[in-house]
Amino acid sequence: MIIFHKFAYLLLIFQPIVCANIKFPDDFLFGVASSAYQIEGGYDSRGKTTFDHHWELNSSMVADSSNAKTACDSYNQYQKDIDLLVDLGVNFYRFSISWPRILPRGFPNEVNPDGIRYYNNLIDGLLAKNIQPMVTMFHFDLPKPLQDLGGWTNPVISDLFEDYARILFKNFGNRVKYWITINSNTWGYGDSDWPPMVNQSGFGDYLCVKNTVLGHAKVYHLSKREFREQKSQIGFVVDGRWYEPASESSQNRDAAERAREFNVGIWLNPIYGSGDFPAIVKQRVKTTSEKEGFSKSRLPEFTPDEINFVKNSFDFLGVNIYTSFLVKDVDERNDKDFSWDKDMKAEIYQDSRWEGAKSNWLKVTPWGLRKVLGWIKQKYNNPPMFITENGFSDGGEIEDLGRVKFMELYLKALLEAIDKDRVKVKGYAAWSLLDNFEWLVGYTEKFGLYHVDFADPHRKRTPKSSSKWYKKLIERRQLDEMYKTEL
Ligand code: NOJ
């Protein structure tokens, strides 16, 4: 009852929820998400990743100097995770497979049988409880030897990724219906904060995008060519940030559209659109490259064959949705330095008045969800979509009302997107099942529906208010009167 009072105030604040449609479609799927590196631990039973290597060189690259060697210990305690998923009542669980746990050196000649066993147990355990696995093949944990070859900047990576995927389809494809190839980003190729710290913005990051897209498409075609009988659904995941013009001036509106194309379209246009990079991205990078003295664009080209190959290489699209940004046009620069930002010619920032989560980048902007989904629908002919991540960070409180409020607002916006804008969103995964290793900020920011005691060798899991709230939502499949129910 005490909890009831705490939630009751939310009802007053979010009155409009009561007026709008509150019911999710009958076939809508609810899930939660995680990633291997962030939860598994089991460090001694897998090969090293780029992140491990850089952490060893300088542990203070992580805010609390912590690491993911044990994390939530899901490698040993996956049955506890399955029990939580059962308790929540989810339809699907989005988790990722660690490339270096299957192939310790990244290459396909040496397969780790313990890794295969681990994921077999997890998949079978989920299916036994009628929970669909949605499996990401790559979620930021590249085997270190492949990084030594240049990682995602070396075109050979797309073949090695295909080899790895073949092993996954062979071992798990008879039971996994939804595969996500890659949780996309260019981290570390254009900056020095993130491993691999290549810091070659305007060159390394564009190479990474092209090879990522090719790797994805090779795996899509592999599944349709060699594993057709598995009838897999193959998708790609994009970080669906929304870019809103800072004002209605035509310069700022154009700058916001450029920001969308440089950050979202650059991934989606090849796979879900024309097969090539967006026209504005091609044009901007070509012009700036010429002015800087390059003989051709720094943006790699897709050949006509590659365009045909990557175009339409999808069954669905996964969108991670967290936050939004404001965009202002900036003056053209005429120096020799080059970078993605210079090509984009836009300043990106957030309004300091927007309510924030613990992560400095995460501002609560549910309106951005509807806008980014609407933009994708209009640009790419309304592909079937899943929200593959959506979540809120805090300090790890058990009564996590900030997270409940966040999910309520974003799910309400999602219902509007489905009902009013007719976007084809088939399901939603909350990030994340458990508090876990949040990359460069370690264990200082928590996203879990379940608290994990990282001081306890057994990594005790404790339900937070948000898990109880989400469980009720899944049971009732609607957003109203949530807080009238005793949690
Ligand atoms: C997106 C990433 O996919 C995930 O690994 C990360 O933990 C969340 N964002 C929160 O930052």
Residue 3 maps to a domain: no
Q: Are strands 346-349 and 324-329 parallel, antiparallel or unpaired?
A: antiparallel
Mean per-residue pLDDT of the chain: 95
Q: How many angstroms is it from 3 CA to the middle of ligand 1?
A: 29
Residue 15 maps to a domain: no
Q: How many angstroms is it from 323 CA to the middle of ligand 1?
A: 12
Q: Provide φ and ψ at 170, rounded to 5°.
A: -60, -40
Q: Which atom of ligand 1 sits closest to the CA of residue 447?
A: 10
Give the closest residue to 34 by CA, choosing from 435, 319, 369: 435
- Which of 187, 320, 443 is the pocket-test mutation for ligand 1 (most atoms within 8 Å of CB)? 320
The β-bridge partners of 347 are 328
Separation of alpha carbons 180 and 54, rounded Å: 26
21: pLDDT confidence band, cut at 50, 70 and 90?
confident
Q: Are strands 450-452 and 461-463 parallel, antiparallel or unpaired?
A: antiparallel
Q: Which helix (H) or strand (E) covers residue 86, if one does?
A: helix 74-88
The angle that helices 465-476 and 74-88 make with each other, rounded to 10 degrees, is 50
Hunting for tokens 């970078």 — which residue is that? 339
Residue 386 maps to a domain: yes
Residue 69: per-residue pLDDT: 98
Hunting for tokens 């890794």 — which residue is that? 115
431 lines ligand 1 (CB under 6 A): yes
pLDDT by residue (tens digit) across 24-33? 999 999 999 9
Tell whether the model's pLDDT for residue 234 goes beyond 70. yes
Q: Which atom of ligand 1 sits closest to the CA of residue 320?
A: 1
Q: Provide φ and ψ at 193, rounded to 5°.
A: -80, -40
Q: Mean of the pLDDT values across residues 453-460?
A: 98
485: pLDDT confidence band, cut at 50, 70 and 90?
very low
pLDDT by residue (tens digit) across 120-166? 999 999 999 999 999 999 999 999 999 999 999 999 999 999 999 99
Tell whether the model's pLDDT for residue 20 goes beyond 80. no
Q: Mean of the pLDDT values across residues 222-237?
A: 98
Tell whether the model's pLDDT for residue 61 goes beyond 50. yes
The β-bridge partners of 410 are none
Residue 10 maps to a domain: no
480: pLDDT confidence band, cut at 50, 70 and 90?
confident
Tell whether the model's pLDDT for residue 16 goes beyond 50. no
Residue 481: per-residue pLDDT: 58
- Dihedral of CA atoms 282, 288, 294, 300 in degrees, nearest 10, equals -20
Q: Mean of the pLDDT values across residues 261-285?
A: 98
Residue 254: per-residue pLDDT: 98
Q: Mean of the pLDDT values across residues 158-180?
A: 99
320 lines ligand 1 (CB under 6 A): yes
Compute the C-alpha angle 56/187/183, nearest 5°. 105
Quote the DSSP letter at residue 483: G
Residue 2: per-residue pLDDT: 39
Q: How many angstroms is it from 118 CA to the middle of ligand 1?
A: 23
Residue 11: per-residue pLDDT: 47
Tell whether the model's pLDDT for residue 51 goes beyond 80. yes
288 lines ligand 1 (CB under 6 A): no
Residue 339 maps to a domain: yes
Tell whether the model's pLDDT for residue 251 goes beyond 80. yes
5: pLDDT confidence band, cut at 50, 70 and 90?
very low
Q: Which atom of ligand 1 sits closest to the CA of residue 436?
A: 7
Hunting for tokens 């900020």 — which residue is that? 441
Query: pLDDT over 90 for what percent of the chain?
Result: 94
Q: Which atom of ligand 1 sits closest to the CA of residue 322?
A: 9
Residue 2 maps to a domain: no
Residue 9: per-residue pLDDT: 46
Separation of alpha carbons 6 and 4, rounded Å: 5
Q: Provide φ and ψ at 92, rounded to 5°.
A: -145, 155
Q: How many angstroms is it from 82 CA to the middle of ligand 1?
A: 21
Residue 340 maps to a domain: yes
| CA contacts within 13 A on the Cβ side of 149 | 15
Q: Mean of the pLDDT values across residues 316-339?
A: 98
What is the domain count for the chain?
1
| Structural domain for 422, as ranges | 23-486
393 lines ligand 1 (CB under 6 A): no
Residue 337 maps to a domain: yes
pLDDT by residue (tens digit) across 380-423? 999 999 999 999 999 999 999 999 999 999 999 999 999 999 99
Tell whether the model's pLDDT for residue 8 goes beyond 60. no
Question: Domain holding 152: CATH number?
Answer: 3.20.20.80
482: pLDDT confidence band, cut at 50, 70 and 90?
low
Distances (CA, A) of 298 to 205, 270, 471: 10, 17, 49
